[in-house]
Every structure is written in structure tokens, then in C-alpha cells.
Amino acid sequence: MKFTRWKTGAALAGALGLGGLAAAQPIRIDGRFDDWSSVPPGLTDPSGDATGAIDLTSARAHAAGTVVYVEFDSGSTINIASGPSSDQELFIRFFLPDSGTSVYVQQHDPNRVYVNTSSNRRSWAAVGFAIAPTYASDRFEMKIDLSSVGAQVGDAVQVSFGPNGTGGPSSDDTTGFIPLTLGGAPPELHVGSVTRDPCAALRLASLNVLTSGLTDGVAGIGALVDAVDADVYCFQEEYSSNASQVGAALASIDPLGDGNAWNVHMVNDCVVASQRPLIPLVSYNNTYSAAIVDGGTPETSVAVLSIHPKCCGYIGSSEDAQRISQTAGMVMTIDDLRAAPVGSALEAYREIPVVVMGDWNLVGSRTPLDMLTSPAIPGMARVLLPKPGSDDHATWRSFSGTSNFAPGQLDLVVCSADRLNVLNAFALDSETLSNGQLSELGLNPDDSRASDHLTLVVDLAARSVADLADPVGTLDFSDVLAFLTAFAAGGAEADLAAPVGTLDFSDVLAFLSAFGSGCP
């Protein structure tokens, strides 16, 4: 997204996950729910009638072709994919009365989908399933494609919650069901762009390479690294290599096509790599690496954290507590940078923007995400990562036909939204790209199958000095008014040109130049 005069800030708001006009949005399985506002509740259920942790009170469903989207509340903040053994399982039934077929989605160990009987199991991929969020919540959304069981446009579907129909444990039973007829407009897939934004000062990419896939020379991993042409790469799960080996692997791939060497900072399996100089930052545990990517001046530099905290568990579990503790170390690293002592090597970099990206394993509480976007670290916000060619934002999926866990969002990006403009951001899945996008990137459709995680790509630029008013990321008349107001009041935000401390016509010219540049 470039700066556009006289336009709204919807593009940046979407990129940062800050909302938008729900009625105009297609349903996306991304863990946000503004796109459901135009869908009325399909059923309601009394509060307090549940025998376990899940106490459903309302649910919605929407059909797009043969795909059914479902949104529901769980009554309390829980993980539905895992939890204490005392929690009951969630069952959602999709009944096709014309054929008498029932498709059951079971959540909570074992997580599975099956047709009619629990022995007739289907893989998540076979039914086009995805769910969000992966962290604990009191609201969830999911999708399933019923064409996988022979359903066609025009067929009736009944969506209900409760008894699984095979004698197993049941979740909170809903009163009645949501009636749907398959059809209407087909799912609206995200188109997006995989092209580096021409205004981008920096492209960053992150990939969990699946147990040292980079230095082991896995062809698909190399193809993905080469395709995105990033200035900074973050890798996770590079377990059996060192920084020199990672640098050699990148030099061999030569993604920027210039033959230059790569600088690498590595802690355990987490890597930050760039051709630009790196200034390592202290890591307080071995689940992340942190470094300043030095652009030559503090104004062109950025601090990057590549993270891979503890896997698995659920809200309140020991794994969740460990993730929270590990995230506290990441916060300390950022705090150290912001409080760099006068005269230290880091003093000049105190105010540079920060980017945190990687495999967050956010399957328990959302506390780690909250810690890194809290008011204690001003300006940090999550970047939304749509997938071109898809209607979900899952960044992890298993290729095992009997995998316990459904596709979900394990890989995230958080950045200093007050200092940076997100020009483009996406999760790259070669299987959902158009032929034109595959050709542009030089990829084969199956390259992303080299890892169970997807590649994250973010194009960033420094926030324009003319971007003085909301909406952030757009230059419009509100910025002009903000500048004129600040200029008249002698405000420092209008002091854009030398001599510093004096507001004069040079500041007006600097504002007009930045406003009309078309780029941050």
C-alpha cells in the first residue's frame, strides 16, 4: 500500500488487524469477527446449562458455494483444541438431510473430523478445514467444504452442536440447528500481491524451516527463500547448524542475486540474517534471537526478533506459563534497547522501530501477544497476514492425514506501527497462489510443502513525516489540518526542516514535499 491522497486508511487498518467495514468484507478465518456483523445469529442457547467448560449461547453460519463458515461463542475463555482432561469435547454436526450424511467436527484431543461414524475419519485438508484463533478465546470461527462428502449447491444443511451421534461424550447441546442451503456467491479468496512494494525500504521474511531444512539443502526451502528476495530473513528450527553454516546456505541460494555475503545472528534454533550489518542484542533465554539491522543511520535501522517459544499445552498449563516467561525475556530485550545508557553503543538506536516475527506457538493463552502489544511497549501492533488465493489465515498445517490438530495461526508478526508503515504483508502458500504469482516468484505449487509452516513476508517503510493524523498510513486533508494547527501553535511535529527550533517556510516546503511524494 502506498500513501494515497484523499483516500481512507482501510488498507493499513486491514494490514494491522485494526478493523474495517464489516458489511463489505468477505468472511475470512483469521480470528477477527468484524466480518460476521452482517450475519444474524442462527441459534441461541441458554447460558448456564452446560456440564463442562463450553457453554454455548449463540452461533452463526453462512454458506458460500459448498463451503460452510461457522462462528460461535464458547461461554468462557478456553482453548477448544486442547485443555484439561476434565473439559468436555466440542462436537459440531453438519447434517445433510437429502443424503442422510453427518459430518462431525470434534475438538479437544483427539481433534478430528469424521463422516457418520468415528472410524470414517477424514483429514483436515480433505474437508478444507481451518479454525481461528489458535489461542484461548471465548469466540471462534471455522470453515469446512462439504463437497468433500458429495454435497452440492442447492443441498440443505443443518448445523448443530452437541451429541456426536456415536455414543461418545458430548459438548453443550444447542436447542435446534441452523438451517442453510448451499449456494450463493462462492468463497471470496484473497487476491493480494506478492510483489515487493516499490516504496518499501525493507522486506522481511520469516520461516520455520522444519528441523534444519535451510542448511540441509531442502529444495523447497531454498526455493521459498530465493522467491521472496528479502533484506532480512528470520528462521526457526535451524537446530543442527551454526551461524557460519546459515550464512553459507544463504550465500549459495543468493536470493538477492548479488553474490554478497550474509551476516547471521543465531541463538539456539532462531536466526536473524541480513546482508546489512547486525548489532546483536542480549537474549534472556534461548527461544529467540535479537539484533539491530543497521541501515547506516539510526533512522534507517530496525531491531528484529526471531522467536520460537515453547510449544503446545493450553491456557493455564505449564507450557503456557513457560511461553509467558520466555516472552518476558523478549520484552526485557526491547526495554533494554529503549533504555540504552547515554554514551553506550546502543544509545543512538533507542527509538528505532522493532519487529517481532516467527513461530509463536500461540496455542495457550494470548498473553504473549498481549505482552508484546501492550501499552508498556508503545506503538506495537499485530500485522495481519492474509494468504493470496485463500479465505483463511492459517500459517501452520500438518500433512499427516491423521494429524490431531487442525490448520491454524502459529506464525505472527508484531511491529512498531507508530514508526513504520506496513505496505504489504502476506503468508505465502505456493499451493494457493495463482499461476501468474507462481511464475513471478519462480515457485512450483508444492514448494511450500517443504515445511509445515508458511513463509511470512512484510514490506515496511518509515512513517512519513507528513502523516500527522489518523488514519495512519494515509495522507489526506486531516494531515494538512494537523500540520497547519501544529505550525500555528509552534508544535514540534511541524518542525520538519532546518533550522531546528524555528518554524518557517522551509518547514512548510518540507511538509508539502513529503505529502506529495507518494511514498512514505
CATH of the domain at 256: 3.60.10.10
Q: How many whole angstroms separate alpha carbon 64 and alpha carbon 151? A: 13
Same domain membership, residue 392 and residue 439: yes
Query: Buried b / exposed e across 303-334, counting CB within 10 Å, b at 16+?
Result: bbbbbbbbeebbbebebbebbbebbebbbebb
**Grid coordinates 483469521 are at which residue?**
30
Residues 174 and 222 in one domain: no
The total number of structural domains in the chain stands at: 3
* Same domain assignment for residues 174 and 232: no
Q: Residue 203: what residue type?
A: R
User: In 3-state terms, the chain is what percent helix, strand and coil (to 5)?
Assistant: 20, 25, 50
Structural domain includes residue 12: no
Write down the pLDDT at residue 175. Answer: 67
Same domain as 73, residue 218? no
pLDDT at residue 22 in the model: 31
Specify which residues 48 forms β-bridges with.
none
The confidence band for 421, taking pLDDT boundaries of 50, 70 and 90, is very high
141 and 35 fall within a common domain: yes
Task: Tell me the C-alpha distance between 353 and 470, whole Å.
Answer: 19
Lookup: cell for 30: 483469521
Asked if residue 506 belongs to a domain, the reply is yes
Distance in angstroms (rounded) separating the CA atoms of residues 303 and 265: 12
- Least Cα distance to 305 among 365, 371, 221, 395 occurs for 371
Mark whether 161 and 270 lie in a shared domain: no
Q: Is 385 helix (H, G, I), strand (E, B) or coil?
A: coil
Structural domain of residue 501, as residue ranges? 477-515
What's the pLDDT tens digit per position in 391-411? 999 999 999 888 889 999 999
- Could you tell me if 368 and 306 lie in one domain? yes
- Say how far apart CA 510 and CA 498 lie, in whole Å: 10
Domain stops at, among 181, 214, 231: 181
Evaluate whether residue 150 is within a structural domain: yes
Clarify whether residues 150 and 33 are in a common domain. Answer: yes
Give long-range contacts, CB 8 A cutoff, 24+ apart: 292-299. 292/337, 292/346, 292/349, 292/352, 293/202, 293/231, 293/232, 295/201, 295/202, 298/348, 298/349, 298/351, 298/352, 299/462
Q: What is the pLDDT of residues 185-241, one digit of tens each?
A: 999 999 999 999 998 999 999 999 999 999 999 999 999 999 999 999 999 999 999
* Residue 373 and residue 491 in one domain: no
* 152 and 256 in a common domain: no
In a domain, 16, yes or no: no
226 and 130 in one domain? Answer: no
Predicted structure pTM score: 0.89
Residue 17 lies in a domain: no
Could you write out the DSSP letters of every residue in 201-260?
A: SEEEEEEE-TTTTTTTT-HHHHHHHHHH--SEEEEE--TT--HHHHHHHHHHH-TTSS--
Q: Residue 81 belongs to a domain with what CATH number?
A: 2.60.40
pLDDT surpassing 80 at residue 130: yes
Sign (positive or negative) of CA dihedral 43, 48, 49, 55: positive
Q: Is residue 60 one of the residues assigned to a domain?
A: yes
pLDDT digits (tens, 9 = 90+) for 240-298: 999 999 999 999 999 999 999 999 999 999 999 999 999 999 999 999 999 999 999 99
Note whether 176 and 267 are same-domain residues. no
In what helix (H) or strand (E) does residue 106 lie, and over which residues does it extend? strand 101-107
Per-residue pLDDT band at 23 (split at 50, 70, 90): very low
Residue 26 to residues 20, 30, 131, 352, Cα–Cα distance (Å)? 11, 11, 16, 36
Percent of the chain with pLDDT strictly greater than 70: 92
Is residue 247 in a domain? yes
Report CA torsion sign: 234, 240, 243, 249.
negative
Domain end among 117, 146, 181: 181
**Residue 159 φ/ψ, nearest 5 degrees:** -105, 125
Q: Dihedrals φ, ψ of 3, to 5°?
A: -65, 135
Calpha distance 66→256 (Å, rounded) = 42
Q: 5 in a domain, yes or no?
A: no
Per-residue pLDDT, averaged over 486-506, amounts to: 87
CA nearest neighbour of 209 among 227, 200, 198, 222: 222
